[in-house]
Structure 1
Amino acid sequence: MAGDDKHTAREIIAVRRADGESRTLAASLPRLVLEARRIAANVIHGLHGRRRAGTGESFWQYRRFNSGEPSQNVDWRRSARDDHLYVREQEWEAAHTVWLWPDRSPSMAFASSQARDSKLERGLIVTFALAELLVAGGERVGIPGLMNPTASRSVIDKMAQAMLHDDATRLSLPPSFVPSALAETVVLSDFWSPMPEIRNMLAGLSASGAHGALIQIVDPAEESFPYSGRVEFVEPEGGGMITAGRAERWATDYVARVALHRDEIRAETDKLDWLFSTHTTSRSAAELLLFLHSGMMVSKSGARASTVKVGRTA
């Protein structure tokens, strides 16, 4: 077969594979939605939302008066019952926006025998469950380029419907946009994209001063490279193929390249005070959900949990 014919054949295979994955996603979404709701329900009772002090009418808490504050801040009625001075804090009632981006590109469909879910399934489950928790805590949730921010209690259904009716090319990284300075963005992807693309994405998302998190979702086989003998590797998005005569000889170089790629991502996120962590699909989805939600709560108090990792990391 001539070179051009071979290239065309690979493109046809890639298109058919992507089309098949789209139909599989449509069939599996109901199950993923149910799993997301189950996980969210299991953890929501132990969480207290992300309420915070600010301008509003609803009482939140009393706190000790700090030296140097204006005396008019003191709640004298509450202070009269104690030996200390107290300030009455109101709950900040302005809805906060969180943008969630689950990577739905073809590379996310990969799942080895060691995984509980494919990377795509895990990303969607956690995205749906996190949206449920955030809306329950008074936040607005949106998907860049796909769904406007909403605080609807049926947020999971809205997200699933938006994905089902999305006929655009499924990209690994979110489309270019600049969120507001007070917004947060969570990107769940395998982040096997070239570093220039990741840098450009971060530059756009952080241009206004907004913060967020990059969560790299990987399959256990992508961590350990458990291959030996003659193996043909197929690139799911470009249709390219490469054959390893003795794949086990590639393992050391592969692990080093993965570590270098992650170090480069972490260097970029550290510059911007963003969070970067990895999650392996052999671990539980609830673990990642709790990590993300608690990490976002910590970010509101001024401390970022950038050193915390989920799952096995290189």
Structure 2
Amino acid sequence: MPALLAKADALARTMMMGGHGRRHSGNGSEFWQYRPAQAGDPARAIDWRRSGQSDGFFVREQEWQAAQSVHFCCDQSASMQFSSLKDQTTKMDRAALLTLALSILLMNGGERVSLDGLGTPPRNGAQQLRRIAQALCEPKKDEFGAFDAADYLPKSRAVLMSDFLGPIVSIERAVGTAADRGIHGVLFQILDPVEEAFPFQGRTVFSSIGGGVSHETLRAGDLKSRYLDRLAERKDALYNFARQAGWQYDCHHTDKPAQVAMVWLFQALDGGAS
């Protein structure tokens, strides 16, 4: 856990928090903008100094600073523990790093964060961060990840990180449930580069990490086109789930820098990625 926390903190420091999720007017202490006074505005809302510089009346608006709640689902199933090379990070390690680094960024900005499986609502603070880090260091024995957004707070944010190679019904149901509750979020798929390239030839035994799925073939190369078609279909389905729900979707490979994924995720949470 200390190593994960250190890596996540270093990754979070590479980005500036900025004004995530708060760039509109509301209750707060930071100046947002001046706007022309409208019928119904109380006299105490008028900024008389600014109004004295023109022929009209102006209201000084503050930036909205209500904390948001962000739910993280970080897949820690056996499927996510795969890496094609010994010195390459696993899908689960990359997902855990990104989840924790984003949690640090969001908490530093005053947001509340939760992780599926913790059994606690979204919270801020060092204790919540330690709970998340500890949970991220405990892999699951399930073959594939399962997803359930039933306990997510309405109007909150959600980040689902997984390879999304398991039953697709669970993914579709979770996104649909979240969208019905006004939750905006991200489907972030993480794959090993081998899972994208399928470089296998000749006799090959394919076996899942959990041992629940196994297939042997003498001509692995003959499976490549069908495999790539199935993978493309899964990606299209994830993209469509996200689009229909007003969410964002992206696919990240573990041989790429974590910083690239962080930038995309941060912008996606703020509604700026595509």
Instruction: Tell me which interval the TM-score lies in, with the shorter structure as reference length.
Output: 0.7 to 0.9
Per-residue deviation, 1:268: 1.7
| 2:18 alignment partner in structure 1 | 47
Change (3 A) 1:213 1:75: same
Change (3 A) 1:60 1:41: same
Q: Secondary structure at the match of 2:260?
A: helix
| 1:222 alignment partner in structure 2 | 195
- For residues 90 and 137 of structure 2, the distance between their equivalents in structure 1, rounded to whole angstroms, comes to 18
| 2:221 alignment partner in structure 1 | 248
| 1:191 alignment partner in structure 2 | 164
2:97 is the alignment partner of 1:136: no
| Cα RMSD, aligned residues only | 2.7
| 1:94 alignment partner in structure 2 | 66
Change (3 A) 1:77 1:114: farther
- For residues 223 and 143 of structure 2, the distance between their equivalents in structure 1, rounded to whole angstroms, comes to 30
| 1:120 alignment partner in structure 2 | 92
Q: Give % identity.
A: 30
Q: Secondary structure at the match of 1:250?
A: helix
Change (3 A) 1:167 1:279: closer
Give unmatched runs, 5+ long, in structure 2. none
2:217 is the alignment partner of 1:231: no
TM-score normalized by the length of structure 2: 0.87
Q: Secondary structure at the match of 2:22?
A: coil
Change (3 A) 1:115 1:265: farther
- For residues 115 and 187 of structure 1, the distance between their equivalents in structure 2, rounded to whole angstroms, comes to 26
Give unmatched runs, 5+ long, in structure 1. 1-28, 309-314
Q: Is the Cα–Cα contact under 8 Å of residues 115 and 282 in structure 1 kept in the other structure?
A: no
Amino acid at match of 2:175: L
- For residues 165 and 156 of structure 1, the distance between their equivalents in structure 2, rounded to whole angstroms, comes to 15
Q: Give the aligned length.
A: 270
Q: Is the Cα–Cα contact under 8 Å of residues 64 and 87 in structure 1 kept in the other structure?
A: yes
Per-residue deviation, 1:293: 1.1
- For residues 55 and 143 of structure 2, the distance between their equivalents in structure 1, rounded to whole angstroms, comes to 61
Q: Is the Cα–Cα contact under 8 Å of residues 172 and 193 in structure 1 kept in the other structure?
A: yes
Moved more, 235-244 or 260-269: 235-244
Q: Is the Cα–Cα contact under 8 Å of residues 217 and 281 in structure 1 kept in the other structure?
A: yes
TM-score normalized by the length of structure 1: 0.77
| 1:172 alignment partner in structure 2 | 145
Residue from 254, 262, 269 that aligns with 1:296: 269
| 2:31 alignment partner in structure 1 | 60
Change (3 A) 1:209 1:170: farther
